[in-house]
Amino acid sequence: MSPALKRVLLIVLLLSVAILIAVGLYYLFFRATPRGGPFVTERPTTTVGQLPAAGERAPLGPEGAGPAGQGALPIAVPRALPSRPSYYSPEPITKITSDFATFPSLGQNGAVRYHNVNDGKFYVVAPDGSSKALADQVFYNVEKVTWANTANKAVLEYPDSSKIIYNFDSKKQVTLPKHWEDFSFSPDSSEVAAKSVGLSPDNRWLVVTKDDGTGTRLIEPLGNNADRVTVDWSPSRQTVALSRTGQPQGADRQEVLLVGLNGENFKSTVVEGLDFESHWSPTGQKLLYSVDSARSDFKPELWVVNAYGDEIGSDRRALKINTWANKCTFGDDTTLFCAVPRELPVGAGMSPEIANGTPDDLYKIDLHSGLKTPISVGEQSHTMESLSFDKNKNKLFFTDHNQSGIFQVNL
């Protein structure tokens, strides 16, 4: 065979191989597979306008899990479809009234009571958020209000030193002596304790009177120490006042005496600081107080101590938080809610008004463990005052030093 012929045959062979490879690739990648998969050999016949009939189903095996004679599959458990996530988040703090509210207090059934400076009336906020007047009578220029805990009664004080007890249910009022001050209702709201501060030190007494102004009793002489006594009736009724007149303890310490109604010789407690300010727990078993000292750069420090019976003065602990007792409220004897200024300058404990423009953070404090849990206030900014807690509704209430209205914290 000539060389020319060999070249022609080689070219023909190469072309044939190339064609076969191209055809194979076409069948492998580009040609469409018939519907139903490569193993479908025939299509069911259908009548125009009808769906194809379903085939016969093999009988189920044991437990209805699969065809008879085959291994059973697990039974399918119905699953509820996941609910759509809610993207609505309620405001943690809402305003329940826009009135120029002062002297708020939590009364019976968790109702919030307050004085409206604009019209001079006292109101109560109903559960639906509406405000209802406690009385038609107008009380202008009220300077201070001391509420009873279990009744709609209050001691109202005026700039001219006039004082009255007003019962909003019976609409009766009782006039008190002008030289009485620093009032506190008994736990059952039937009596009022006060300091009777006469011109002479010999005529200065801790007194108790009934809410109708009768039955006045002298409890303890005050002498020259009236400004060192705080009238604060405990929920247990054991203590009617706290007196910082114990034995000298040094520059930054004081001995606080608990004063009873019948001259009892109760134990005392020592406080580590000055500018003492206190708040009773709901049962009167514990006493929360704030003091300041060089140790804290004279910023207020919170402490808690047992304050009932033989336990008085025991388990005294610093809570390691800088705020005042009047910016706190108890949830129960072991739970505390406090508004804490975000920053305080040195010496703030001696001048609380320094913090009037400072926003507060809100904390829940476990008195057993000392755990402090922040409570969200959202994007809002408040300087909180007059905190109170409604256990039934699990809500906090407060007023703002720089805004009108009463605010509710949705816990």
166-185 residue pLDDT tens: 999 999 999 999 999 999 99
Give the span between the Cα atoms of 126 and 38, in whole angstroms. Answer: 75
> What is the distance between the alpha carbons of residues 203 and 367, in angstroms, rounded to a whole number?
42
Delimit the domains of the chain by residue range. Answer: 232-375
For residues 310-338, give the mean pLDDT: 96
Q: 340-364, pLDDT tens digit by residue?
A: 999 999 999 999 999 999 999 999 9
What is the per-residue pLDDT for 20?
74
What number of H helices and E strands is found in the chain?
1, 28
User: Does residue 85 surpass a pLDDT of 80?
Assistant: no
Q: Which residues pair with 242 in a beta bridge?
A: 230, 258
Per the CB < 8 A criterion, the answer to whether 243 and 259 are in contact is yes
44-48, 97-101, 137-141, 400-404 — which is least confidently predicted?
Answer: 44-48
Amino acid 79: pLDDT: 56
Q: Where are the alpha helices (DSSP H) in 258-368?
A: none
The pTM of the whole model exceeds 0.85:
no
Spatial separation of the C-alpha atoms in residues 400 and 199, rounded to whole Å: 37
Token pair for 297 = 């750069």
Q: What gap in Å lies between CA 164 and CA 139, rounded to an integer? A: 11
